[in-house]
Amino acid sequence: MSEPLKSIAQYYHERTKYDPDTLASKGQQLDWTKQPEPFKEYKIGTVFDLKPYLKEISDPQIPTANTDPWQRLSSLLLHTYGLTAKLATTSGFHYLRSSPSAGGLYPAEIYLVSRGTPELPAGLYNYQTLHHSLVQFWDSQIWSELKQACFWHPCLENTKLAMVVTAVFYRSAWRYQDRAYRRIFLDTGHLLGNLELAGALNSYRPHLIGGFADETLNNLLYLDSETEAAIAVVALADLLEIDQNLPQFRTALPSATQTDYPEIPDGEMLHYLHCASQIKSDTSGSQGWKKLASEEEPEDKYNFPFCTKVSTVTPAIDWGKDLKGLNTAQLRRRSTRRYSGGNLNLEELLALLDFTYQHQHYGYQGLDAAPDFFDLSLIESFIAVSGVNGLEEGCYYYAPKAQELRQIRFKNFRRELHYLCLGQDLGRDAAALLFHTADLNKAIAKYGDRAYRYLHSDAGHLGQRLNLAATHLRLGASGIGGFFDNLVNEVLGIPTDEAVIYITTLGRLRGN
């Protein structure tokens, strides 16, 4: 019986794996004279300065009907993707943002589409991160065109603002070449995780839309799709307006699955996959955007009869009055560069897992108890434990429905973890590494080649929740998108067709 043909997403995944025998030969010297700028500037347009509304952010309060709408919007954008630090370098300054990015390259751009509000006239706006301002570069009513591009998603019937996230491909490809496509969507997931939580701080409910007509939306934003393209749409529901308190809808639609493709040269894989995973027409089916009962998360995947099981039920993290702890965490979060090598306590690890996966535990604090992802049922999570007090060393499967860790391997893998993380000390010195994986066959059967976008965005979203919980608990966290793919499967003892999507290292900060 012949093997099924690989789709372009599976082919891309295999082609962009890091392998110890070939990584050195594929490496390249970075041309620092061609390093891309992480900011896009519009020279013409009406500027709306958001900086005057930052003064209240250090001591926030959940908005009421009397809160200045400009203050809410300024805070939402700052906490989602705004600048939070300025570092001097030999060639100028390096700016850090509330959302982490691989290599500090920040490939995403944020646009707002306004239907017309007292503050923002109808039109198109770009968020100028460097200046914390909005520039209106198109002043016509285009909301109906946006609805058409999103196949008439129900949330766009009631909302008045929408965010479109785009990717400037070269910003990441300059350093990471074809593998940059993975990192672009991981970074987008970080941004979407920030947006979800920043919404709670500012009484917005983000409704995620991953199914849209790519070419139509790119044209709507006047993008050169060879260099920059839309990758996510978010309807921003104003929770202070009763008619915008909306139910959940489907977030993801499938694209075609391409199995007939030419031999693709290195350097062209990223763009080929992006084009192949575009949607051209409405694929929502007879049920439209309605969220179906069949799309509820399935039972936990791995359940060996004799493995050690550890309950992860734990008290929820307390984010404080008016979520002040979350506000602080989003503005102070930094990716950890070095760990002390000290152990975490089991209670700390359980708190990180609880906030990341058990969203229903946080509704009473004002957070979204069921935030939007593309499809979390496709993501599996494993933890390699090297140093957690109260937990035996080894590898565990995290079962979110059962709320337990299930031990699947019995060994300290610190040396192997150091190696598979490309020799980064973060892999060696972390107390635990959390791996997100996905069955690509299953994902592509459901969403076509576009599944690759959804998987990495969701993994990044989960990773950002880990980052913020770690910051709040004064622990370290850092995402790793570069690793020897097949060696991860060997260490975890999982099948080779289970694709490794993302790694988040967790540990104790130096000095703690």
CATH number at residue 460: 3.40.109.10
Same domain, 258 and 223: yes
Same domain, 313 and 219: no
Residue 398 burial by Cβ neighbours in a 10 Å radius (0-12, 13-18, 19+):
buried
- The reported pLDDT for the residue numbered 293 is 58
Same domain, 47 and 193: yes
Same domain, 271 and 300: no
Per the domain annotation, does 29 fall within a domain?
no
Same domain, 143 and 219: yes
Same domain, 413 and 479: yes
115-139: burial string, b at 16+ Cβ within 10 Å, e else: beeeebbbbbbbbbbeebbbbbbee
Same domain, 311 and 259: no
Per the domain annotation, does 490 fall within a domain?
yes
Final residue before a domain boundary, out of 276, 305, 326 = 276
CB 253 within 8 A of CB 284: yes
CB 326 within 8 A of CB 472: yes
CB 191 within 8 A of CB 165: yes
Same domain, 127 and 231: yes
- The reported pLDDT for the residue numbered 290 is 84
Per the domain annotation, does 24 fall within a domain?
no
Of the candidates 95, 144, 140, 112, which has an alpha carbon nearest to the alpha carbon of residue 48? 112
- Distance from C-alpha of 294 to C-alpha of 299, rounded to nearest angstrom: 12
Q: Which domain holds residue 215?
A: 8-17+36-276
Whole-model pTM? 0.96
Same domain, 223 and 370: no
End-to-end, the C-alpha distance of the chain in Å comes to: 58
Per the domain annotation, does 59 fall within a domain?
yes
Per the domain annotation, does 242 fall within a domain?
yes
Per the domain annotation, does 220 fall within a domain?
yes
Same domain, 264 and 350: no
In the predicted model, residues of the chain with pLDDT beneath 70 are 1-4, 24-28, 56-58, 286, 292-298, 512
Same domain, 261 and 306: no
Q: What is the DSSP string of 204-268?
A: EEEEEE---BHHHHHHHTT--TTTEEEEEEEEEEETTSGGG------------------PPPTTS
Task: Domain count for the chain, please give it.
Answer: 2
